[in-house]
Structure 1
């Protein structure tokens, strides 16, 4: 079995600190807009992390993608 070099791009996004920081729907919209802004990419994975804070939860999503046409 051969080995291949495999590289994947990624970005992480969170809501701004403060009111609305824990708004999951807002974060999903922001991540979706960023994916659209990237153009034609193939998303391989998306992770979601929620960390408890004194105020609202700190949410982070990381998207792993390749710059190639989406599989349909």
Structure 2
């Protein structure tokens, strides 16, 4: 049997009503974390009403070993 590797994945989510502003906010948060490896970004859209949407982005990241 091969040796099993383990590692820890971290994540955070942020929400906003406009995608460009949310992307800027997420980019700033990633920079504030320092040196990290971003593995995935997932954009979610919640339809609140016919005229209003709420967006959130979940960022999955790890610290370099």
Interval of TM-score (by shorter of Structure 1 and Structure 2):
0.7 to 0.9
1:32 equivalent in alignment to 2:27: yes
Between the aligned partners of 1:68 and 1:52, the Cα distance in structure 2 is 36
Of the structure 1 ranges 54-63 and 26-35, higher mean CA displacement relative to structure 2 is found in: 54-63
TM-score, with length taken from structure 2: 0.85
TM-score, with length taken from structure 1: 0.77
* 3-state secondary structure, aligned to 2:30: helix
Between the aligned partners of 2:15 and 2:38, the Cα distance in structure 1 is 18
Give the aligned CA root-mean-square deviation in angstroms: 1.6
**Where does the alignment leave 5 or more consecutive residues of structure 2 unmatched?**
none
Query: Which structure is higher in strand share?
Result: 2
**Where does the alignment leave 5 or more consecutive residues of structure 1 unmatched?**
16-20
